[in-house]
Amino acid sequence: MKKNAFAVILLLLSIGSFAQTLPADKIVGVWQCEDYKIEVFKSGNTYSAKLLWSKDMFETDGKTPKKDSKNPDVKLKTRPVQGLTHITGLVYEDGGYVDGKLYSVQDGNTYSLKGRLKAADELETRGYKGVPMLGKTFRWKRIK
């Protein structure tokens, strides 16, 4: 019986050693979820992302980008939301991304952001105010 228990423990430990953490820079690239498309890029020792597309990015003509009208800074209210860097400061730590900031063009608020690569082409992020449990999760697929 002890030999079987030892064999099971050894098997579990060997399986765990095959699990690999993806490199930090693997987050760099273009990602899309149902409502958004972003481009993540490295900025010094952190990662940021610019907004390439969202379902409500354009005026009713379908061509004119909407302005950042909800921005609390009056000087920024006239800038277009298309191409806006709205994720900043993501730090790679212990296999995940933490300490990021997400500026929402929908309401003009800034949220905390964390994320994790679930696979090479699958990214999960969570934006929140205060505690992550009260936030919103986005599941992204890499665009090739």
Kindly state the average pLDDT of the residues 122-143.
Answer: 95
State the alpha helices, DSSP H only, in 2-135. Answer: 2-18
Q: What is the pLDDT of residues 78-99, one digit of tens each?
A: 999 999 999 999 999 999 999 9
Q: Where are the domains of the chain?
A: 23-142
The CATH classification of domain 23-142, taken from the options 2.40.128.520, 3.40.50.300, 3.40.1530.20, 3.90.1150.10 = 2.40.128.520
| CA end-to-end distance (rounded Å), the chain | 51
Which tens digits make up the pLDDT trace of 20-49?
578 999 999 999 999 999 999 999 999 999
Q: How confident is the model over 45-65, as pLDDT tens digits?
A: 999 999 999 998 999 999 999
pTM of the model: 0.83
Residue 41 near residue 51 (C-beta atoms within 8 A): no
CA 133 to chain centre: 16
